[in-house]
Chains A and B, each alone.
Chain A
Amino acid sequence: MQKEVKVKTNLEQDFPKTSWSKETIMRLRRNKGSMIGLAFLILLLVMSLSADILFDYDELVIKQNISERLQWPSIKHIFGTDEFGRDVFARLVHGSRISLLVATSSVTFSVIIGGALGAMAGYFGGEIDNLIMRVTDILLSIPMTMFAIVIVAALGASTGNLILALGIASVPIFARVVRGAVISVRDVEYIEAARAIGANNFTIIFKHILPNCLAPIIVQITLRMASAIYNTAALSFLGMGVSPPAPEWGVLLASGRSYIRDFSYLTLIPGFTIMLTILSLNMLGDGLRDALDPRLR
């Protein structure tokens, strides 16, 4: 988004000026899909934040209760119970904490590292740009899921390593997005003006350039969150991410799989939850993209 050059005209009386962010929010609110997605995500966030109040972790999520094992959904257990008699709903709610934690931390990691690298590459150009871009080329030529598996294979399966793996795997994507955005505004007049009044590189990158690259970064963040949630579940499903008995969604799927023939709800419900979360993020991302850049519609 380029800053508008302010010219005082009599037009301003006729058209009340609304700010860019207000207009964006207005456009976003008009998009039904992204509002539904946002609502689901907020619900998920609230549930995961109050998970400890809703369900006691040790008592309901971890402790086995064989007498109640493999019960189909009922009023007492709305999503049924698993092979150890644990309430699936309670496990899903606590599992959302892991998914959201991994997704937000890994995306934060890649936004910061990738953003800084991309900004440097785009702003300084030349050799630095070349070096950073060759490294991202290498990272991007390993399929993301594979790369995460390699890291987990080397460092061991744990939530922390999963965050690191997914974080590093997304770094090149943010580096590319930010670099492209920086290059597109680097030589615009107002940057030259900032340079002319003696602003240093740091100020120029963080105060002038990055705020103007926000649109593609925000869109990419929602999409990478979706991808991180997918990969968390996928790796845990393979036994390479979060390990049981933690109630991670992929773990739930993997253990439910053994009972798929007779107790299909153990596979269907966690998978459906994963899908809804990713769907919500995708719908929000689509809406954001359209709202932030109406030309792309």
Chain B
Amino acid sequence: MIKYITKRFINMIPVILGVILLVFVIMELAPGDPVLLILGDNASEEARIAKTAELGLDKPLVIRYLKYVSNFFRGDMGTSYISNRSVSIEVLHRFPNTLKLSLVAATISILMAIPLGITAAVKQNSFFDNISMVVSLIGNSMPAFWLGLVLVLFFSLKLGWFPVQGATAGWKSYVLPSVAIGFMNMAAIARTTRSSMLETIRQDYIRTAKSKGISKNQVIMRHAFVNALIPTITIIGVQLGNLLGGAVITETVFAWPGIGRLMVQSVGSRDVPMILGCVITLSICYSIVNLLVDLLYGFVDPRVRSMYT
């Protein structure tokens, strides 16, 4: 098991290298000279040449990439063109805010979605089932940034219950952003839980369990739920990824001091090292989430577990 986990972590390295290369190459296409961006249009010729050499921009792409990678693994992601501060420090400073918001949203949405999905499946075609499925269909289609605006309109501007933006009001500042991004997750997870429960309930081993005379609740929780969890885990992984990717947008709506907002600001100011830092950090998080999800399969399903050894 430990061997397997180590192997999976090692397998992540080429993917990270690939991500860095890809983003590096794409950003290479960006028009404009970063030196002018830093020094301004009126800089002297010598100053420009000196700055270009200092940034290493006179070297070919391959050399710059290798240098970036070797620095990256030493924890150095370069210096911001704009603020002249270390990208690593800036990103690490913002990262906890993004992580906290994502975790709060994910936890709440998972804790609500799974019971909802199970109940809907057990009472298939009931009023409760229909209502909760309509709600989750809508939730699944509601753009998080718009939901954020609507929530702000009603709960901040009209009712004044929660702050309009920022992360300075304690738990209250978490409510609206986590609902805005969590609602879609909840909807997707609830729908998957329901359909995989329905699928599981029809399996032969559920009939076997019933024929043992154990109570309906036990059949559902002990026999059906654990098996239905397997597809649900997949969708939870996908949704956590969306959560991180969507951070860019919701953080902008709520002026949340996280990586997503940092990235949007950096795109606006063409701060290439900062953009690289944000994308790479979030992509690594995304890969780690996917890895954890894969490991969770093994935890739930002995068939997967036996493939590890």
Contacts and interface: CB of A to CB of B under 8 A. Distances in A.
Direct A–B touching, Cβ under 8 Å: yes
B30 A260 contact: no
Contacts of B142: 275, 278
Contact of A261 (B18, B146, B157): B157
Contact of B290 (A141, A239, A261, A264): A141
B31 A156 contact: yes
B230 to A, nearest CB: 16
Contacts of A230: 143
Contacts, number: 121
A145 to B, nearest CB: 5
Contact of B19 (A142, A233, A267): A142
B26 A267 contact: no
A185 interface: no
Interface string A130-142: 0000110111011
B145 interface: yes
A226 interface: yes
A142 B279 contact: yes
A141 B287 contact: yes
State which size class the interface on B falls in.
Answer: 35 or more
Cβ-closest 8 pairs across A and B:
A143-B245, A271-B146, A138-B18, A279-B141, A278-B141, A153-B267, A154-B30, A145-B245
A136 to B, nearest CB: 10
B23 interface: yes
Contacts of B220: none
State which size class the interface on A falls in.
Answer: 35 or more
A154 B14 contact: no
A-side interface mostly: helix
B292 interface: no
A153 B249 contact: no
Given A257-B149, A261-B157, A271 B279 contact: no
B307 interface: no
Contact of B22 (A142, A237, A239): A142
A238 interface: yes
Contacts of A142: 19, 22-23, 279, 283, 286
Interface string B140-184: 111101100110110001000000000000000000000000000
A9 to B, nearest CB: 30
